[in-house]
Every structure is written in C-alpha cells, then in structure tokens.
Amino acid sequence: MGFIILVVLAAVAYGVALKRAAGTQGTSKAWHSRPGHFAWYALGLAIGPAFLVWAAWQIFGGSVVSGLVAGGLPPEIAALPPLERNFFLSEASRLAYGQPTIREATPEVVAAAEAYSRYFTIGTVAMWAAIAALFCAGLAMALGRIAPDTRARNAIERWVTTALLAAAAISILTTIGIVFSVAYEAFRFFQSVSVFEFLFGTRWSPQMAIRADQVGSSGAFGAVPLFTGTLLITTIAMLVAAPLGLLSAIYLSEYAPPWIRSIAKPVLEILAGVPTVVYGFFAALTVAPFVRGLGESLGLSVSSESALAAGVVMGIMIIPFISSLSDDAINAVPRALRDASLGMGATRAETMRQVIFPAALPGIIAGLLLAISRAIGETMIVVMAAGLAANLTANPFAGVTTVTVQIATLLTGDQEFDSPKTLAAFALGLVLFLATLTLNVVALYVLNKYREKYD
Amino acid sequence: MVWPRPRRLGAEEQARHTGKRYAAESRFKMVGLAAVLTSMGLLVLLLSTIVGQGFTAFWQTSLSLDVNLDAAEIDPQGTRNPQDIMAANYAGLINDALYAKFPEVTSRSDRRDLRGLVSVGAPGQVAQYVLDNPDVIGTTQRVTVLTDDVVDQFVKGKIDRDLPESARPISDQTIGWIDRLEQDGAISSNFNTLLFENGDSREPELAGIWGAIVGSFWMMIIVLALAVPIGVSAAIYLEEFAPKKSKLVDLIEVNINNLAAVPSIVFGLLGLAVFLNTLHLPRSAPLVGALTITLMTLPIIVVATRAALRAVPPSIRDAALGVGASKIQTVGHHVLPLALPGIMTGTIIGMAHALGETAPLIMIGMVAFIVDIPSGPLSPATVLPVQIYIWADSPERAFAERTAAGIIVLLAFLITMNALAVILRKRFERKW
C-alpha cells in the first residue's frame, strides 16, 4: 500500500517536472539537458530520500515499536523472566495487529496492545509526514533548478553509475556474509570442541547426550571419517567422469562428423541441466540395488548405501562439466599447431596425444580441479545414496558419509543454536568453503601460470 | 646436440609401421566414440528409468461402489445444509457398500482388511459428490472412489502376485477380492487429477505436487525480480563502466568468479545464519528460499550477461560516443538492446538452475511436511525438487512412483526453459 503511494508520488514528480521543463525550454537549443532528464532528476530528488525513510520504517519500525513498548511496561511485568516477558510482548503485538492470541488476553496484555497500536500509529503518521516534507522539498528544489545550464543529465548518470556499482558490490557483501556467518558459528563450535580434535579425530558421532548417563551419545566430533568419505566418493566420481568426459571432448572436437556433434552436444547439455536431486533418486533407486546385486553375485558384502553407487552417479553428473571445459581448452589451441603436425604426416591420434593435449593440459587440469571442487560440494546425490554411517574405510562397497551429508543432516529438523551438534555443521561448512575456494584459486593459478600464450 | 641419424626403413617394414600407426589411430577414434556413446547411453538409462517408474503415477486406480446414500444418515433434518452434509459419516456408508459387495466376509479382522481397500480420502470424495449433487440423497448411487495405495500398486502390476504371501504387502485374500472386483468391472483407472490439485499428504494416493509447484512459482518470481536486475546491473558496471585499474573492481571480479564455484549448500548455511537467525524471517517461506537462491544465481547471470555484452562489437560503442552520446546513453540505447537476446538466454539458463536447486532449501526448513497450498511468499511452502527429495525418502512403495512423476514434471519445466533459451539463441544470434 505504502509502496503504491510512493509510485504515485514518483509519477507526479516526473509529470510536473516534465511539463515545467518542456514549457520553459520550448524549442530552444541552448539547454544542456532535455526535458526528460529534468523529469528524472526531479523524480530522484523528490522520491529518493522519501523512499529511504519508508524502507527504514518497514525494516526497523517493528523493533522500534517493540522496544518502546518494552521500555514502558509496568514494573511487575518487566520483572518477569525473559521468556515470559517475550511471550507477553508477542501476545500483545498479536492482539494489536489483529491476529488471534494464544491465551485469553489479560488487562495487562490489552494495555500493552494499546501501547503497541498507539506507538505504531504515531510512528506511521510521523513517517508519512516526513515523506511528505521530503517530497515537497525535493520537488521544489528540482523545479527551481530547471535552467539552461543545469547539468541534470550528468546528475542522473552519476546516480545510475552508483546504482550499478552497488549492484556489483553485492557479490562482495555475499562473500562477507558467507565468511562471517559461517566463521562466527564455527568459532562458537571451536569454543566447545578443540580444532585439533575436530580436524584429526577419527570418531564422528554428533549425538549429544540429553541425560548425563545416556548410552552411545558421547558427542564425538572427529571429522576424519567425513573427509575420507568425501575423498573416496570424489575419487570414484573422478575415475568415472575424467576418462569419459575427456575422451568425449577429444572425440567431439577432433573426429565427430557434424551430425554426431549435433546430437551429442545437446545430450551433454541435458545431462548438465538435470537437477542433482534427480541423480540422487537415480542413485538410490537404480544404481545402489544394482551395485548391491553385483557385489552379492561376486560374493562380496555390499551395504545398501554404498560409496560406489553414489560415486558412480556423481561421476555421471560431472561428465558434461569436464567435457565442456576440456572442449574449451582443446579449442583454444591454435589451428596452426594442429595443421603443422598433420602436415608433417602425423595421424590425428598422434597430433592429439603429442601436440594438442600437452598444449591444452593447463586448461584441462584446471577443469579437472574445478570438477573435483564440484564433486566435494555436491550434496543431494550423497544425501540420498551415500548414507549416514561415519566409517573410516577405503572400501567402495561400504557405506560412507561425507561433509555435505553431515551438514544437511545436522541442520534438518528442529535446531537450537547453542548445541555443538548444530554448530558442527558450520565448522564443516567452513572447511568445505575453504577447500573449494582453494581448489578454485589453484585452478586459476594453473591456468594463468602454465597456459601458453599464442599470438 | 647430435641427432641420431634416422634409420632408413625398407618398404615392407615401412608399410608395417604405417599399418600400426593407422591401427592406433582407429583404436583411439573408437575409444573416443565409445566414451561419447557411453555418456549418451547413461542419459538414456537415467531418463528411461525415471519415465518407466513415473509415468504410471499419472493414472490412479479407482473403485466403483454402489453406495446407499441414506437420507437418515446424511441429512436427517432434510435442510440440505452443506455443513450437515459434510459432517455425515460417509466412511460408514462406504463400509456398508463394501460389506454388501462381499457378504461372506464376516470376521472382524477380515472386515478391517476389506475396509482397507479404499483410500482414507474416499469419504471426502463421496461427501464432495453429495455436496455437488444434493438430489442423490436417499438413493443408491454408483460412486467412484480412490483405492488404497497398495491396491493401486497391485493393479498397476508393481507388486508381483507370484511372490510368497509374506514377502508382499498384500494378502492372498485381498488379491482374491481385487480379482473379483476387476471381473465385475468395478476397478477402473483414471487420469490422476489429484496429483495436480493436492499438496503433500501422508497417503500416497492423495499426495500431489500442486503445493510444490505453487511454492516454486512464488520463489522463482522473487528470484526473477531480484537476481535479474541486480545481476544485469552488476555485469553492465563491470563490463562497461568499471575503471580498468581499480582494486575494488579486481576484488569484485575475483569474488564473482569464486562465488560461482562455492557449493550450493554453503549458501544454505548463509541463508540459515543471516535470513533466519539474524533477520528472523519466517522459516520454510518462499521469500527466504528466494533470497538464498538469488545470491547463488547472481554469479551465473553476471557471467552470462558479461559474455553477451562483450559480444557486441566496440564499433557500435565508438559510433554512439562519436555522435555525442554519453556513456550511459551509449549503453542504454545501443549496447544493451543488442546484447538483450544473449542476456535473456543466460538468464533463462540461470533460472533453470535455480528451479532445480535443492540442498540450500533443505537448510532453511523447506523440507517441512506442508499440506496446504501456499497462499503467498511468506506462507510455509516447499518447492518441486525438495518435494521430490521428501518423497524419495518415504518408505511406501507408491511414493517412489510419485517421486518419479514429480521428476518428470520438473524435467518438463526445465526442458521447456532450456528449449526457450536455445530458440532465443538461434532466433536472435548475430555474427558481427
């Protein structure tokens, strides 16, 4: 509602300024800015500050009102324990904003609710008064500046450039947000569990004891089994994806007739676009029973959630990623190298192995590193197919768990933010973030350091 | 350095050597072809497994029963008041119809099994039918109700009747009843409209994906409204306005590239810590999901938009600047319109990616069991991929079928979006 009023006000400012500027300017050519520029200029001056006031009230108004009400509580309520006082306040706000209350409203609650509505009304009226004043002042200022030598266009362009810069800076904010939120919670975790125990402990059982004498819930936070599990599944995935992806890329870029390429490229794109939850379902429903049956026919004992099933399906997911990055690397090798080698009488395979592949190697290695980083961070496939048992094993037929699985499991369901069980997820998230970041940086370094610069 | 003098080969030796090299060549080619065929085969296997599992979920087994819609039970006062009609004991009427169909079943436990043939949603269906046609009160009508999910799976042939009785979830006696009903023509298979009307449910035969589709819709609307303007603006700044030697710009560049490689689950942690625990936004709401997904989608859109802007040749900019346009005018009037098809293609691909994302949404509570259709961006909701995940986790057999059906619907959306992107690219692609 308030937003619509602001839009209407903006339209008014634009229209008034446009009319005034066009009327003053007439057909004169000696003006720096066109009437449209003055209109936008007026719109910005009149609505910009007003919008900020409105947005500030939307975001902070609720807490300001609650703070005022909490400050003015009668002493016997203010003396209540925090939990009950908060309940009292939320009851009062529910009553004030017309939502159903949980308990029958007592006279104190009704009084507090009245305080809520009173402060809220005062705040809203004050906000609209401020908006009206800012709007009128801004519009008057803009209209007063309609003159031949006002640089209205430059002002607008400065605003637009600033807005574009702000949009670009959101990426920095996101990174800061990730680092701070994850690192802060991880820091709280490391206050109760030592970093050394977390990184090098070999027992993972994050169930905290509810009673002191409970069996089997000691709360061990040694993450080594998770790291080895992640490593095992990633290795299996890369063993599947690296040869298939690389050879597909070589075949498609060097040998494939156009009609095969016109089929294979979209197929790989579809594979890349399939959501990971679909791969997870495929792994759990089709591949895991198949692996189990295969192992049993060979006389091996295979757990129903084996690392092999999750790893193979993750490998399938990564094939298009590797193939497209390798394809780029191979295509970046200049035509002249290829032609020279073929001209010397080398076969295509020899050219590939001895000329193009070495030249494309930095790009291919960077691609493989990015693929590993993606495999480490992949969640849904392992959540659905790899299981929860934190086994310290290199046996691909056993069930293992990974860092991402544990993050997802620890944070699903009801959580309190003061138990090490929940905070452990953030410590794992921090490890994951740092690991993928490192891989990404190393990949970029390899690419920049070893890539041959032709031409 | 002294090069070894090459040994001159004889003609026969030469031919043998060449033959070996050519054999190696064709081996190499075959290995490459095999890799491509394997990748394609894996996709075919993936899709055929899922379609084979899921297409049966678009039909649902129903049972036709002659139900005596007793006026004394449904509407004793004869007021035709909808509330009274809804409140009647339809389960009892359905049970009476079943007992009448199988008069020989008398023991209590057998009768309980018999009642288990119909879905727990059946009384609601009959109530709705009576409400829509009040004239039928007091008559006996042939009413079609849903069967229980186990019966449905059996009729669809997903439960093998040759298994020993203890190994299947359905007893010999029940199979006998179903066979008799099939002979009477009482069992029919209809298009499963409930799948596209209902939210989640504990009963597989009543569970639908409409709630999840609506949740996805709200989330995608907000992602579109946030990610596209911010992403395109950021790309325009970096590509057209950013000073070439600036620490800040370098920092932003590195950041965007790194964010594109951060695992999605880390964004889930960010959403949980910032949006839920610090800003206290409602759990399970599409708004929170959208904010989280927006941060994840932004780098994709920025990278795609920059590529599209870079494809516009510098001569266009030079021409516009040459006739006196300002930088903003150059970009706004000339570069951006020419880059628009590329931007749209990249945006659609980014949105398709966002639509299929699951892991970060699990973190922010969208895995909750939600029956109601979400009414807005702040009401609790789930989204399609998360619904698929929830169902995939359910032990009931019939949910596997629902899961695959949900995947088919999700893939249909994604393929439509990708096809749109391809068409846009083909239609508007320009070579300069």
Task: Quickly count: other Cβ atoms within 10 Å of residue B275's Cβ.
Answer: 23
Q: Does A348 touch chain B (CB under 8 A)?
A: yes
B358 close to A (CB below 8 A): yes
Contact A221, A243 (CB under 8 A): no
Check: CB of residue B254 under 8 Å from CB of residue A433. Answer: no
pLDDT greater than 70 at residue A216 = no
**How wide is the angle at C-alpha A96 spanned by C-alphas A95 and A100, nearest 5°?**
30
Model pLDDT, residue B364: 87
Residue B147 bridge partners (DSSP):
B118
Give the ipTM of the model, two decimals please: 0.89
Least CB–CB distance from B273: residue in A185, A255, A404: A185
φ, ψ of residue A19 to 5 degrees: the values are -65, -45
| The pair of three-digit structure tokens given for residue B21, joined into one six-digit string | 């090299």
- The residue ranking higher by pLDDT, A239 or B393, is A239
How many Cα atoms sit within 13 Å of B71 on the Cβ side? 10
- Mean pLDDT computed over B10-23: 89
Q: At what angle do helices B286-310 and B247-261 cross, to 10 degrees?
A: 120
pLDDT category, B168, cuts 50, 70, 90? confident
Strand B59-68 with B140-146, pairing? antiparallel
**Overall average pLDDT of the B175-184 stretch:** 88
- Mean pLDDT across A36-47: 89
pLDDT digits 0-9 by tens, A171-210: 888 888 888 889 998 998 898 888 888 888 888 887 654 5
- Give residue A417's pLDDT: 65
> How would residue B74 be classed by pLDDT, with cut points 50, 70 and 90?
confident
pLDDT for residue A213 = 53
Average pLDDT over residues B302-328: 92
What pLDDT is attached to residue A243? 95
Q: Do A255 and B251 touch (CB under 8 A)?
A: no
Percent of chain B with pLDDT over 90: 37
CA-to-CA distance for A111 and A341, rounded, in angstroms? 90
Tell me what the pLDDT averaged over chain A comes to.
Answer: 86
**Local confidence band at A237 (pLDDT 50, 70, 90 cut-offs):** very high
Tokens representing A203 are 């027992």
- The predicted pLDDT at position A416 comes to 65
Contact B233 A282 (CB under 8 A): no
Q: Per-residue pLDDT for A93 more than 70?
A: yes
pLDDT above 70 covers what percent of chain A?
96
Q: Note the pLDDT of residue B1.
A: 60
pLDDT at position A8, please? 92
Q: Note the pLDDT tens digit of each residue in A366-409.
A: 999 999 999 999 999 999 988 787 888 888 888 889 999 999 88
Quick one: which of B281, B406, B421 has its CA closest to B348? B421
Q: What share of chain A is helix, strand, coil (3-state, %, to 5)?
A: 75, 0, 25
| A205 bridge partner residues | A220
Q: Considering only residues 224 to 283 of chain A, which have any Cβ-Cβ distance to chain B shorter than 8 Å?
A: 243-248, 250-252, 254-256, 260, 263-264, 267-271, 273-282
Range name among A153-157, A413-417, B301-305 with the lowest pLDDT average: A413-417
Closest chain A C-alpha to B83 CA, distance in angstroms: 24
Tell me phi and psi for residue B144, to 5 degrees.
-100, 120
Answer whether B299's CB lies under 8 Å from B230's CB: no
Residue B359: other Cβ atoms inside 10 A: 25
**pLDDT(A211) > 70:** no
The percent of chain B in helix, strand and coil, each rounded to the nearest 5, is 70, 5, 25
Q: Indicate left, alpha or beta for B185 from its phi (over 0: left) and psi (-120 to 50: alpha).
A: left
3-state secondary structure of A437: helix
